[in-house]
Amino acid sequence: MSGPTRLDRSFFATQADTLAPRLIGCVLARREPGGRVLRGRIVEVEAYLGAKDRASHAYAGRRTPRNEAMYMREGTLYVYFTYGMHHCLNVVCAEEGVAQAVLVRALEAVDGLEVMRARRARAGRVPADEALCRGPGNVCKALGVDLAQNRADLCDGGVVWLEAGAGGRLGVSARIGVSSAGAWARRRLRWFERENRCVSGTGALSGRRRRT
């Protein structure tokens, strides 16, 4: 049988709020320096709509070395460092010159759990499997993704890529941690797989709490 289908450039050539729900159920793969491949099913994402989106790093056309990846062609990886200690991983979409991206907030670990457990262990305590990649900072930590992978190509590169997959029932909500973004803070630009225990804390709650 054939291997997993790698998502190609055309998959990413669309608006962030269209791409985001389509990414639920797809698999994020990361090849380690040693050759081993780690995999996780995407279960939670957020769309960032660029220049018009007050919560986006590219709001009002901001363009700096830090967010340059957002302006690169669709299918580029955008990794940034925040809160002095966390990395966050985004999939750039739309088209070159248009700064839109989807933040990957949580994964359901599929391959390489031992490596993820080792990376996430703290003071001898290892998180439960469903918490290995729960939260954007933890996704990067578990996969060993940092600024070295910023601007990598997901379509042609061999380090990080995406594979096709199907998601379960979707939940939608406002994005997390963007309360100061005015009206944009209230827009429902976060998608997650309902009743999946790997969805991040706040998300799992609002997801379970939200009816229908």
Partner DNA sequence: GCACCGATCGCCT
Partner DNA sequence: GGCGATCGGTGCT
We find the least distance from the C-beta atom of residue 4 to DNA, in angstroms, to be: 25
Helix (H, G, I), strand (E, B) or coil at 122: strand
Judged by CB under 7 A, does residue 175 bind DNA?
yes
We find the least distance from the C-beta atom of residue 185 to DNA, in angstroms, to be: 10
Per CB under 7 A, the list member of 3, 33, 84, 158 interacting with DNA is: 84
- For helices 113-120 and 136-143, give the axis angle rounded to 10 degrees: 110
Q: What is the DSSP string of 159-185?
A: SEEEE-----SEEEEPPSS-GGGTHHH
Judged by CB under 7 A, does residue 78 bind DNA?
yes
Judged by CB under 7 A, does residue 187 bind DNA?
no
Judged by CB under 7 A, does residue 122 bind DNA?
yes
Q: CB of 171 within 8 A of CB of 194?
A: yes
Q: How many residues bind DNA (CB under 7 A)?
A: 39
Judged by CB under 7 A, does residue 152 bind DNA?
no
User: How would you classify the pairing of strands 86-93 and 100-111?
Assistant: antiparallel
Cα separation of 46 and 176, whole Å? 9
Judged by CB under 7 A, does residue 90 bind DNA?
yes
Judged by CB under 7 A, does residue 176 bind DNA?
yes
Judged by CB under 7 A, does residue 136 bind DNA?
yes
Q: Where are the alpha helices (DSSP H) in 42-186?
A: 113-120, 136-143, 183-186
Which residues of the chain form contacts with DNA (CB under 7 A)? 46, 48, 55-58, 62, 64-67, 70, 78, 81-86, 88, 90, 101, 103, 120, 122-123, 125, 127, 135-139, 175-178, 180, 200
